[in-house]
Homo-oligomer: A and B are copies of this chain.
Amino acid sequence: MGSFATPKNPEFSARAAKQFELQPMMAHLGATMLVIEPGYVEIHMPYDARLTQQHGYVHGGALATIADSAAGFAAFTLMAEDKQPLTVEYKLNTLRPAIGELFVAKARVLKAGRTLTVVDSDVYARRGDDEILCLRSLQTIIGLSGRTDAEALIESVDQGS
């Protein structure tokens, strides 16, 4: 798939970090974005009892949220300065129960097209020295151009029917 050596926006890392900080949901989950490279990011989320389901594992929705967020930011690292990422769709498979001290979403761009970016985004559970694949997803992200304010976003998306 080649390397993504030359991001269109040299400030990609600072921009991604800043956007991440602006998402209250990430703080609500206790998630932080610890790795930001061209076409690749990692979001880490420690185990927290408030995020669990009835069996004591972390809820699949919490894993899906960091997988989704990581995919968007991985795409964002390769976008031009005037673009904002938006999740078009994704599919995920839950492979193993989310048991561990830490959950790490690793998202890697598979193809960065002019309009759409396709991203592989997986979540691993850290248990001691082991890292176990819990969730695999395949995501499509769109880069929306133009004004970055909310109204522009709505206008771009909420068209048609």
The CA of A23 and the CA of B62, in the complex, are separated in Å by 12
Residues of chain A whose beta carbon lies under 8 Å from any beta carbon of chain B: 1-2, 4, 19, 22-25, 27-29, 39, 49-62, 64-66, 68-69, 78, 86-97, 99, 109-118, 133, 136-138, 140, 142, 150, 153-154, 156-161
Distance of A131 from chain B, by nearest CB (Å): 12
- 19 examples of A-B residue contacts, CB within 8 angstroms: A1-B133, A4-B161, A22-B53, A23-B54, A23-B59, A24-B51, A25-B62, A27-B50, A28-B28, A60-B65, A61-B68, A89-B91, A89-B94, A89-B118, A93-B118, A95-B111, A96-B158, A97-B153, A117-B160
The CA of A34 and the CA of B90, in the complex, are separated in Å by 27
How often does this chain occur in the complex, in copies?
4
Residues of B within 8 A of A88 (CB): 88, 93-94, 116, 140
**Known A53-B25, A61-B68: A136·B156 in contact at CB below 8 Å:** no
Decide: A87 and B94 in contact? CB cutoff 8 A. yes
Decide: A51 and B25 in contact? CB cutoff 8 A. yes
Decide: B93 and A154 in contact? CB cutoff 8 A. no
Residues of B within 8 A of A137 (CB): 138
Which residue of chain B lies nearest to A144 when distances are taken between CB atoms in the complex? B115
Partner of A64, one of B23, B64, B97, B115: B64
